[in-house]
Amino acid sequence: MFRWLARLAASRTAAAATVAIVLLIAALSFLASRKVEHEDDLLAFLPQDNAEVRAFYQINKRFGGLDVALVGIESEDVFARDFLARLARVTRELKETPGLSHVLSLANVMDFVPDREKGGIITGELVPAPPKTPEERAALRAKVLSRDLVVGNLVSASGKATLLYCFVSLGTDPKAVAARIQTAVEASFKHERKFWGGNAFISTYIYNTTQEDIRRLTPWAGLAIIVIMMLAFRDVFATVLALVSTGIGIVFSLGLMGLLGIRFNIVLGSMPIIMLALGSAYAIHVLARYYALAQEGAPVEEAVARTVMGVGPTVLAAGLTTVISLLSFVLMDIQPMRIFGLFTAIGLLAKLVLSLTFIPATVRLLRTRKKPAASRTVRPPETGTGSAATASRSGAWCSRSPARGRSTPSASTAAWTRARSSPRGARPISPSATSRSTSAARSSSSSTSRATSRIRRCCASSSAWATSSRCARTWPGCSTSRSRSRC
pLDDT at res. 417 = 42
pLDDT at res. 37 = 80
Long-range pairs for 136-143 at CB < 8 Å and ≥24 separation? 137/77, 137/79, 137/80, 137/81, 140/79, 141/79
CATH 1.20.1640.10 for the 2-39+213-366 domain, yes or no: yes
pLDDT at res. 424 = 44
Whole-structure pTM value: 0.58
pLDDT at res. 460 = 44
| Side-chain half-sphere CA neighbours of 455 within 13 A | 30
Which residues, at least 6 apart from 170, have a Cβ–Cβ distance to it below 8 Å?
Answer: 60, 61, 64, 67
Helices (H), 357-384: 358-366
pLDDT at res. 380 = 43
Helices (H), 126-270: 134-145, 174-188, 199-233, 236-260
Residue 173's CB is within 10 A of a number of other CB atoms, namely: 18
Successive 10-residue mean pLDDT values, the chain, 487 residues: 78 88 93 82 70 75 73 92 92 90 90 81 86 90 90 91 89 84 92 89 81 80 81 81 89 91 81 83 87 84 87 90 91 85 92 91 73 41 42 39 39 41 44 47 50 47 41 43 39
User: Structural domain boundaries of the chain?
Assistant: 2-39+213-366, 45-203, 386-418+451-487
